[in-house]
Amino acid sequence: MKLIFDKSVPGRRGIRTADHAGGAPVPIDKKLLRGEPADLPELSELDVVRHFTELSRKNYGVDTGFYPLGSCTMKYNPKAADLVSRYPGFADLHPLIPQLPGGEVMVQGALAVLKETDRLLSEICGMSAFTMQPLAGAHGELTGAMIIAAYHKHKGNAKTTILIPDSAHGTNPASAAIAGYDVKTVASNADGVIDAEALRAALDDSVAGMMLTCPNTLGLFNRHIKEIADLVHGVDGLMYYDGANLNALLGQCRPGEIGFDIVHLNLHKTFATPHGGGGPGAGPVGVVERLVDFLPTSVIRERADGSYYLDYDRPRSVGYVAPFYGNFAIVLRAYAYILMLGREGLVRVSENAVLNANYIMARLKDRYDLPYDRLCMHECVFSASRQAAGGVRALNVAKALIDRGFHPMTVYFPLTVPEAMMIEPTETESKETLDAFIEAMIEIADQAENDPEKVLACPTTTPVGQLDETLAARKPDVAALGRSESTDDR
């Protein structure tokens, strides 16, 4: 497929507009730039429509196929939630709508949605209050780390360290470091969860808190989570819950009741909002009662008459972490999703997510190594070590899936598993889809054993074949890829 610039024909126009003086029409690029013409392709409207329609046919998304990406929770989300976000009363709002005399806020409906979502998420997670400002999960992590720092500063504690498991998401240590903390890694035990003895050895008065994913990135629930929380609290540390894996616990248990003090949620993973492609996302942060004063400003308050206002009198607050109230349309989708499913529906989400993951694990554990052979939660992690002994690595298995019409699973994460293949089916996929994926994985395993060269040649059905991955990462040349006519570029 040619790039749109390659299709350009000098002088061809899809749109023209008159200048302000009512004179002859001028090209849109000159009108906008008021000077030098932009280096834009020149095409008719039909050329442009056909180009982008052709591009869309090459795109892979949740609406077109199954994403088994572990940890990312790439699930189908109901279009009804998108519809609610397009209601004119919400879609036409502007965040700079002025307040009325006396401080009355005009956007009462939007504030009601934000406040109600706060209440719903607090109920789901066992927290006292949420802020909707963080713009993504990692942004929520940073906000949580800032709250940890503000809490200890208020108490006069000289805390310098955040504890993080060796199986954690990579953003956890990054967020803690940005917030000014040293990061100390805590090892996992033979069961794949954080080792209580290793935790005891790491605890001292310098520990400000611990960031923990529950269940962890192996999809395993730590049966000793309450003991872990008690140990961290014993040195006046705070327990931070990475909510990326909430699909596993939704409606089953509340993080606040198993020892967590701060929670961030990925609304773009669990609660019916887009995920992937760089955004938009939302990472609301919830806290227990003793941390409410440290939440970002401003806070939405409700008057006795049911109206809402913004409270800026927050001397202990960490301040603003995002303009206005974050990605409002994402919060709105989550609000609609929660109301649509209700209590019973949210419970079913986690039940089906866990069932699907264990179904895949049971069907594939004889064909791929399973480092931790126990019931998993919403995702399972295999190892391609058996296949790697014959030359076929996890990355090759992932590329072979592409030729079979599936998006690859997550590979080489978590780092605690060699040749890791992390699979999360989510609750929205049918048994038929899972069976087709499983059969593809079995076929790849058979081929890796009997004809490994075929697996090593994948993908063969894509516009561009295997790339030099180091050069592709360090010196990407998108134009060269677009002009390539070969499916065997190496």
In 3D space, the residue among 355, 415, 76, 70 whose CA is nearest the CA of residue 219 turns out to be: 70
Residue 19: pLDDT above 60?
no
Rounded to two decimals, the pTM is 0.88
Give the pLDDT confidence score for residue 59 in this predicted structure: 84
CB atoms within 10 A of CB 198: 17
User: Taking the alpha carbons of 283, 288, 294, 298 in that order, is the dihedral positive or negative?
Assistant: positive
Length of the chain: 490
Chain centroid offset of residue 100 CA:
38
- pLDDT, one tens digit per residue, over 264-296 is 999 988 998 877 666 688 999 999 999 999 999
CB 368 within 8 A of CB 121: no
Q: Which residues pair with 16 in a beta bridge?
A: 27
- Residues 284 and 243 sit within 8 Å (Cβ to Cβ): no
For residue 75, what is the enclosing H or E element?
none
**Following DSSP, what letter does each residue of 14-27 receive, concatenated?**
S-EEE-TTS-SEEE
Q: Are 396 and 459 a contacting pair, CB within 8 Å?
A: no
pLDDT of the residue at 488: 39
Domains in the chain, ordered, with CATH?
A: 16-55 (no CATH), 80-340 (3.40.640.10), 348-483 (3.90.1150.10)
Model pLDDT, residue 29? 55
For residue 486, is pLDDT > 50?
no
In this predicted model, what pLDDT tens digit does every residue of 442-458 receive, in sequence order? 999 999 999 999 999 99
Name which of 453, 409, 379, 18 is nearest 213 in CA terms. Answer: 379
How much is the average pLDDT of 18-30?
Answer: 56
Distances (CA, A) of 463 to 404, 416, 466: 15, 34, 10
Nearest-angstrom CA–CA distance, 359 and 432 = 12
pLDDT tens-digit map of 54-110? 998 888 888 889 999 998 888 998 999 999 999 998 998 887 777 666 656 678 999
Distance of alpha carbon 300 from alpha carbon 51, whole angstroms = 46
Say if residue 489's pLDDT is above 80. no
